[in-house]
A = this chain, B = another copy of it.
Amino acid sequence: MDKVKTVVGIDIGGTNTIFGFVDRSGNILAEDQIMTAHYDEPEVYVAALYEKIMITAQKTGRELEILGFGIGAPMGNINKGTIEYPADMPWKGIIPLADIFARHTTLPVIVTNDANAAAVGEMIYGGAKGMKNFVVITLGTGLGSGFVVDGKLVYGHDGFAGEIGHTVIRPGASNRDCGCGRKGCLETYVSATGLKRTVLKIMADRLDDSELRKHSFEELNSVMIYEAARRGDPVALEAFEHTGAMLGFKLADVVAHTNPEAIFLFGGLALAKELIFEPAKKHMEENLLYIYRDKVKLLPSELSTQNAAVLGASSLVWSSLEADGA
C-alpha cells in the first residue's frame, strides 16, 4: 500500500495546541492536542508536542509520509520562524519555534500567524482556489488579515504583513482602548469583542427594550447577540449594522491598497451571514473609488470553522512545496 502524503498542521493557542495530519485535498486523517499552558519552557513544550504527533501518527494504523510541519500561532513571524512577544502565552519575548522544532526533524517547519494561515488555507483548500489576488479577514476575538498578491502570501519585510486589525479607524483620544495600547483600532469595533462593546454602547445610548439588557458584559457573547438579532432585537440588529458598516468602510481602504479580486470573511462573526455581509458590502461599495466599484467579491470563507486553523497551518507546507516545484 502506498504511503499517504500528509503534512502536520499545528494551531497553537494560549490554552491548547491542536494538530492534525492533512492530505492535499484538505482531509484531516487524524487529530489530537496538548495543553500549551502546561509548559513553561518552549523547548519542553516542543518535545512533548513532537512526541504526541509521532504517537498519533502511529495510532492511525496507516503509513503516513509526513512532508512538513505548518504552524499557526499568534504573532508568528514567517520570515524568521519565530513567535514574537505573544500575548496570552506561557512564554515571553521572541521564541525561535522553527529552530526548536529543527532539533527533532529535518523536514520543513513553517510558522506564521493564524490569519496568514487562513489565507493560504483558502487558496489551497477553499474558495480562493485559482485566485491570484485576494484578502482573508478573520473575525474572532480580534481581527486578523492575510494578503495574497500574485498567488503568494505577502510576508512583508519583517514578516508581519497583514495586521489591519490594528489600523486606527477612529482617531482621537476618546475612542476605544485596544489591547495593543492604542485607541480606536479596527478590531475594537469589528470582532466578536467589538460587537459586544458596541452592544453596550447602544444600550447606553438608546431606550429600546432588549433581551441583551439582562446580561452582564462578561456573560454576553457574539452567539447570544446573533440569536437576539435573529429574533428581531433592535439593539442586536443595530450592533450588527454598525459592525458591518465599520468593516465595509475599512474594506474599501483595503481594496485601494492591493486591489484584490475577492475578500473572504472567516470566523465566528462571518457565520452571522447577511447580518454582517449586507452592511459590510453596502458600506464597502459606498466608500470605494469608482474604478473599483461592483468588482470586488465579498465572500464567506469555504474553510470549515471547526478545522480551519489546522487546515490553514497545514496549507503553508503544501503551498511552499508547490512553489518549489515539488
List residues of chain A with CB under 8 Å of any chain B CB: 75, 84-85, 132-134, 147, 149-150, 152, 154-164, 166-168, 171, 180-182, 249, 252-254, 256-261, 287, 289-292, 295-296
Whether the pair B253, A292 counts as a contact (CB closer than 8 A) is no
Select A258's contact among B134, B258, B292, beta carbons within 8 Å: B258
Select A156's contact among B159, B160, B259, beta carbons within 8 Å: B259
Select A257's contact among B159, B258, B289, beta carbons within 8 Å: B258
Q: Give Cα distance in the complex from A254 to B254, angstroms.
A: 9
Whether the pair A160, B292 counts as a contact (CB closer than 8 A) is yes
Whether the pair B291, A75 counts as a contact (CB closer than 8 A) is yes
Chain B positions within 8 Å of A181 at CB level: 290
Residue of B nearest to A166 (CB): B289
Whether the pair A161, B259 counts as a contact (CB closer than 8 A) is yes
**Chain multiplicity (copies):** 2
Residue of B nearest to A289 (CB): B166
Most chain B CB neighbours (cut-off 10 Å) among A160, A257, A260: A257
Q: A132-B157, A291-B158 are in contact. Are A147 and B258 (CB under 8 A)?
A: yes
Q: Give Cα distance in the complex from A85 to B152, angstroms.
A: 30
Q: Give Cα distance in the complex from A256 to B166, angstroms.
A: 7
Whether the pair B166, A257 counts as a contact (CB closer than 8 A) is no
Most chain B CB neighbours (cut-off 10 Å) among A132, A258, A290: A258
Chain B positions within 8 Å of A150 at CB level: 149, 152, 154-155
Q: Give Cα distance in the complex from A285 to B152, angstroms.
A: 28
Select A290's contact among B133, B155, B156, B180, beta carbons within 8 Å: B180
CB distance from A129 to the nearest CB of B (A): 15
Given A163-B289, A166-B256: 12 more A-B contacts, CB < 8 Å? A133-B156, A150-B152, A157-B295, A157-B296, A158-B295, A160-B292, A161-B257, A161-B258, A163-B256, A167-B256, A168-B249, A257-B257
Residue of B nearest to A163 (CB): B256
Residue of B nearest to A257 (CB): B257
Whether the pair B85, A291 counts as a contact (CB closer than 8 A) is yes
Q: Give Cα distance in the complex from A132 to B157, angstroms.
A: 8
Whether the pair B168, A84 counts as a contact (CB closer than 8 A) is no
Q: Give Cα distance in the complex from A180 to B286, angstroms.
A: 12
Chain B positions within 8 Å of A291 at CB level: 75, 84-85, 158, 160, 163
Residue of B nearest to A249 (CB): B171
Q: Give Cα distance in the complex from A157 to B156, angstroms.
A: 19
